[in-house]
Structure 1
Amino acid sequence: MNGQPSADVVAQVKDIPLYRTSVERGHFPILEKPEIARGFPDNWMTPALAAALDSGEAEFVLSTGTNHARMQLIRPPYFLLNSYYRLWSEHPDIAHTWHEGCRRVSLTTVLATEHVARVNARKRGGPQAEPDPLPDLEQRRLDERTFYVNLRRDPALWDRADVERMIDEIRAAQSAHPHGSYHLDCSGPHLAHLVRKAVDWGLWATFPRPASIVHAYEYTPLNVRRYLQHHFACPVVDLFGSTELGYLFYSDRTGRYHPYLDRMSVELIPVEPGDHPLYALIVTSLRNPHMPLVRYRSGDCVRTEDGSPDPARITRFCGREKELLKTEHGPVAQGDLDDVIAAASPRVFVHRLDARDPSRALLRYTTFDGAPLAPAEADALRRGLTGLTARPSDVEHQRHIPIGASGKYAWLAQDA
């Protein structure tokens, strides 16, 4: 498979300036993020797009910038939200909570909360209006179905008042449903922090139990997923996607991934040659009619069950291409480190690998119970890290590992 688009795809993008050279040559190279931004928006502009922008059928937005530099996009209003809602409504394990009218509580980065509050402030007060420093619940409501609860960047620093407020707001969503059901949308680590604090402070008995859970905002470590599944009896599923693409894959309640490629196709190319290679995800998508992407490098890495470049055999989304550790055995991704940690101990919570010294590696970690690993667990982790990084490795327990400026955790520290 050479990855070249079908005639139908070419017909739909032939008038877009960005693709004209590719159409003329009969070959579409891989589309990198800088090419999307170069000459924007003229490189995308067609009479149809100009008309859509004038009518409000298309709008300019910025990507979140949490995994790469923020880039401008053109898309239909509520593109990502509608992609989420459609997948929620069709997911075999959780569709019932959509059709039963469950409210959606979103517990994720404070950047997402601030975005919703900012949009609402400008709806009320004009394009220059700013939200309150601590927006109330109504200011954090995305639509009739969804509101956001996090008001701090670092969830490890939530105090008791933060946790009690969030539990009260979640209870409001639960109480709005005739059967007391609600849908919890989250970043996995954020929800784990909330559960841990509720347990530690004697608030777990009052925590409203959701009817379904989706984690969809960042890589969710295996131990975090285990922790959530231990505390919640409902399905816990992962959605994989991005601001510019919408959602492409979903997991079932057992963790197995399934494609959700409406008007999309996927190809896998090796990041580097190898016996069991790590693949870069290349996506062709017509889902966004105003900015169709042909052979777009999403920046994500995957592994397949048999090492083949067959997208149907994807078993792991392993993190970002820009966050790979180069070793003499080949590139190491976030998911590879996660496998080593999960095999050594289920107690490791937040972790960060310091690989800035080329002669050694140091894993700093926190635990769900706050105590250091037992000697046997620590030794198993050291051995696993040494084999993974091909350098002497050690582990160091921490009480707190700060979250990144984006509101997501960085798994790796290494020199640029």
Structure 2
Amino acid sequence: MDGQPTAEVIEQIRDIPLYRASLAKGYFPVLDKPDIARGFPENWMTPRLAAALEAGEAEYVLSTGTNHARMQLIRPPYFLLHSYYRLWSEHPDIAGTWESGCRRVSLTTVLATEHVARVGAARRGVPPAQVPSFEDRWLDDRTCYLNLRLDPAGWERDEVVRMLREIEAARASHPQGAYHLDCSGYHLAHLLRKVGEWGLWDDFPPPASIIHAYEYTPVNVRRFLAQHFDCPVIDLFGSTELGYLYFSDRRGGYRPYLDGMSVELHPVAPESTIHELIVSSVRNPFMPLIRYRSGDCVRTLDGTPDPDRIAQFCGRRKELLPMRNGPVAQGDLDRCIGELSPDVFVYQLQLTGPTEALLAYTTFHGTPLGAAESAALADAVGALTGRRCRLVHHAHIPIGKSGKYAWLVDAD
């Protein structure tokens, strides 16, 4: 049957209580996040897992909670980091930076920084500092985290100078002065704007390679980054509970990275060419996830449910905008904006009524779009969403409490 685990996978999950009913029926339904949490950890406990926890070969962790409520997980120590390092070391465009010993500087949500500081403090047996120092923000000897503020638009000059100084400190240990920049595309774009505003380019050493991996990166943000850096800029897709599943090459095409995994694509609605990811993974031996609904949506090159033909990771299922002709995803609105106005930076579609919407936006240059460009974009967004749309320029759109931007909100 479509998507059902192989005999080899079944042998690896046979002792896990969560899967007993499915094994008895000979059929594995799609697994949702509440199914993972229900009865945790007893639903996952096997003699092997109990022994691994006792020996420190498995640990309890919480997901960061940036895309959904925080979930408790069990996994090997540094599971996600090792997945990242392996992918970096094998990537066709950036393996050289791994081999040369580049340090990894991470510029992303403050939640991620705080998580790293908590992990480090627990490892040292001390309480986490209220404001973690540079030394507190190293995940291991290769990776440090920079951001200490929820909203990067609010970074002040002294914070930017500190982050540039920390980049330089990480870079200085490399024989050729190279470093690898891991980031949220939005956070790096904010940093570039601040560096330009305060004339700090001489203090910003260019990275040898860049991966943006923490959230959907809009077309315009990706274009903005590519204009500023003469190095590979790679998109990496994955999640806390699964590890990494796909990566882009420097030309923007996606390739699967499915060691220990398989993927099904299910249409989110009848006849829709937006598909959600259903993932089976035994990569984490302590919490193998079989037919797990990740909540992420994709479009393929030809609209078919072929996991090898993914063209775009287009947002999350819970954030789809329902339409009479089928749902609209963040990636659809993003493509519409990117084709008509490369100057739009942060945007948010606000539903102001049953047939009306407002597109709030900022620009990279800080000034509103011209009248003709605004009118064309309002018409295009209106045609896409089936709502009368007007545009409103803002100097600032606040980031969400997760450290990520919401592209769609109900104004009520």
TM-score (norm 1): 0.97
How far the C-alpha of 1:134 sits from its partner, in A, is 2.1
Q: Does 1:197 find its partner at 2:194? A: yes
- Please give the alpha-carbon distance, in whole angstroms, between the structure 2 residues aligned to 1:7 and 1:122: 40
Q: 2:255 aligns with which of 240, 258, 264?
A: 258
Cα 1:356/1:36, change in 2 over 3 Å: farther
Give the distance between the partners of 2:10 and 2:136, measured in 1 at CA: 43
Question: Which residue is 1:45 aligned to?
Answer: 45
CA distance in 2, matches of 1:247, 1:305: 21
Q: Tell me the distance in 1 between the aligned counterparts of 2:238 and 2:119.
A: 22
Superposition deviation, residue 344 in structure 1: 1.1
| Residues 1:77 and 1:356: Cα distance change in structure 2 (over 3 Å) | farther
Output the CA distance in 1 between the equivalents of 2:307 and 2:118: 38
- Give 1:59's aligned amino acid: E
How far did 1:117 drift? 1.3
1:153 counterpart = 2:153 = no
- Contact 1:329 1:390 (8 Å CA) reproduced: no
Shift of 1:205: 2.8
Counterpart for residue 292 of structure 1: 288
CA offsets per residue over residues 165-218 of structure 1, 9 Å max, x none?
A: 111111111211110100000000000000011011111232110000000001
Q: 1:415, CA displacement in angstroms? A: 7.2
Distance in 1 (alpha carbons) for counterparts of 2:125 and 2:301: 52
Correspondence list, 1:130-209, <5 A: 130-131=128-129, 133-209=130-206
Letter in 1 for 2:6: S
Tell which deviates more after alignment, 186-195 or 367-376.
Answer: 367-376
Count of aligned pairs: 412
Deviations 1:63-97 (A, max 9, x none): 11110111111100000000000000000000000
How much does 1:414 deviate?
A: 2.3
**Contact map agreement 1:248 1:259 (CA 8 A) in 2:** yes
Distance in 2, matches of 1:16 and 1:120, equals: 31
Q: CA deviation at 1:122?
A: 2.5
Match of 1:105 in 2: 105
Instruction: Find the partner of 1:332 among 311, 328, 331.
Output: 328
1:366 matched residue in structure 2 = 362
Partner-residue secondary structure (3-state), 1:402:
coil
Superposition pairs of residues 15-414 of structure 1, within 5 angstroms? 15-126=15-126, 129-131=127-129, 133-274=130-271, 276-414=272-410
CA distance in 2, matches of 1:385, 1:287: 41
Q: Give how far 1:376 is off.
A: 2.0
Between the aligned partners of 1:380 and 1:245, the Cα distance in structure 2 is 41
Distance 2:201 2:295 in 1: 38
Is the Cα contact below 8 Å between 1:183 and 1:211 reproduced in 2?
Answer: yes
2: CA distance, partners of 1:159 / 1:4:
52
The secondary structure found in structure 2 opposite 1:340 is helix
Q: Distance in 1 between matches of 2:54 and 2:410?
A: 46
Query: Which secondary structure does the structure 1 equivalent of 2:50 belong to?
Result: helix
Partner-residue secondary structure (3-state), 1:195: helix
Contact 2:298 2:312 survives alignment (8 Å): yes
Q: 1:22, 1:118 → 2: CA distance?
A: 37
Shift of 1:356: 4.4
RMSD (Å) for aligned C-alpha atoms = 1.1
**Alpha carbons 2:350, 2:411 under 8 Å: kept:** no
* C-alpha contact (below 8 Å) 1:104/1:182 kept by paired residues: yes
Give % identity. Answer: 67
Q: Give the TM-score of the pair, scaled to structure 2.
A: 0.98
**Runs of 5+ in structure 2 lacking a partner?**
none
Q: Once the two structures are superposed, what CA deviation does each residue of 1:352-408 show, in whole Å capped at 9, x if it has no partner?
A: 110142220111000000010112221121111111111111111000000000111
Aligned equivalents of 2:311, 2:362: Cα separation in 1: 27
- Take 1:168 and 1:329, find their aligned partners in 2: how far apart are those partners? 51
Does the Cα contact within 8 Å between 1:356 and 1:413 map onto a contact in 2? no
* CA distance in 2 between partners of 1:378 and 1:343 (Å): 13
Deviates more, 1:392-401 or 1:356-365: 356-365
